[in-house]
Structure 1
Amino acid sequence: MDSEALKKITDQFNEQGEMAFLEGATDEQIKEFENKHKINLPEDFKIWLRFSDGGECFLPAGIQFYGVAHKPVIDVEENDRPDDSYVVIGALASGDPILCQKETEVISIYNHEAGCIEDDEVYENFEAFLSDLYDLLGIGG
């Protein structure tokens, strides 16, 4: 995801609902977080963190993203995931966690009710996930 794609997505979000974007994280804060936890976050997600380190989209019943410097901070030990190959980077209003698969660009949603990650809720990267939020949240785009 480049800055132009991010701007397009966030402009669309702002037209559709109330957003609570936070101050972006610095490259140093992101690198410090990754080094401390011995993980590499997805590149597209790091672009998002530089824009908004956490925050909420489509308030009041949308999505909360976690950050690396602002609360709520990503908890790499969060147990609300299928296994240790995932990191919880946010949550839907339903409580279902948004996951990134360690050492990949893959973003997915863990469906609590089904007890699994469903095929139609796996995204090749964070940009693809953001681009599908309208359908995912049932708000049209």
Structure 2
Amino acid sequence: MDQRFSPTLKSLQDHWRPQRHLRLAPGLLAEEINDFERRHAIRLPEDFAAYLRLANGFKAAGTWDDCDDQAFQFYPLQDEYLVQSGYLKFREEVVRMDDYGICVDPDGALGSVVALYGEGRIRPIAPSFSAFIALYIADDGVLYGGGAS
């Protein structure tokens, strides 16, 4: 585990551990992450890449079989999740169908997390993946369009 992000990643693991129904996809190798970045001329933020080395989303993402207790799914790193210019979709709230993306555009707000809406509309959520994880673990209202809880 990347020591710079180990407290955040440990908190995430601790949050998921009691949810025994969750099946995490195996983490990626650094070479796989680098290849994805090269093919798409993007850069993944360091904290997000550290998360991908730990777990590449949920195994059955895209189905009801792998939702966490908050009805969220974390998606694997795949080409089809590069959506809306400069953003990589990595998570969905399946009840409201809200998508969440991380900025992967080196010329943009790299690493910022936003809610993704159609027609290029976004709503800022957090300045980094690590900050997003803190909101997610706290089940903060900002994730759902409200203010901080």
Match of 1:107 among 93, 104, 113: 113
Structure 1 position 63 matched with structure 2 position 63? no
The alpha carbon displacement at 1:33 in A equals 0.8
Given that residues 8 and 133 in structure 2 are in contact (C-alpha distance below 8 angstroms), is that contact kept between their aligned partners in structure 1?
Answer: no
- Helix, strand or coil for the counterpart of 2:100? strand
- Partners of 1:54 and 1:99 lie apart in 2 by 13
Match of 2:6 among 3, 28, 44: 3
C-alpha change, 1:41 and 1:96, in structure 2 (3 Å) is same
- Helix, strand or coil for the counterpart of 1:22? strand
Paired amino acid for 2:113: I
- Unmatched runs of 5 consecutive residues or more in structure 2: 59-65, 145-149
Match of 1:125 among 111, 125, 128: 128
The alpha carbon displacement at 1:13 in A equals 3.2
What do you get for the CA RMSD once the two structures are aligned?
Answer: 2.8
Given that residues 101 and 115 in structure 2 are in contact (C-alpha distance below 8 angstroms), is that contact kept between their aligned partners in structure 1?
Answer: yes
Instruction: Tell which deviates more after alignment, 24-33 or 128-137.
Output: 128-137
- Partners of 1:3 and 1:66 lie apart in 2 by 21
- Helix, strand or coil for the counterpart of 1:132? helix
Percent pairwise identity: 27
C-alpha change, 1:77 and 1:7, in structure 2 (3 Å) is closer
- Helix, strand or coil for the counterpart of 1:40? coil
Task: State the TM-score, normalized to the length of structure 1.
Answer: 0.73
Structure 1 position 85 matched with structure 2 position 94? no
Structure 1 position 41 matched with structure 2 position 44? yes
- Partners of 1:130 and 1:89 lie apart in 2 by 12
The alpha carbon displacement at 1:7 in A equals 0.8
The alpha carbon displacement at 1:6 in A equals 0.8
Task: State the TM-score, normalized to the length of structure 2.
Answer: 0.69
The alpha carbon displacement at 1:16 in A equals 6.1
Match of 1:21 in 2: 24
Q: Which has the higher helix share?
A: 2
Paired residue total:
126
- Unmatched runs of 5 consecutive residues or more in structure 1: none
The alpha carbon displacement at 1:57 in A equals 5.2
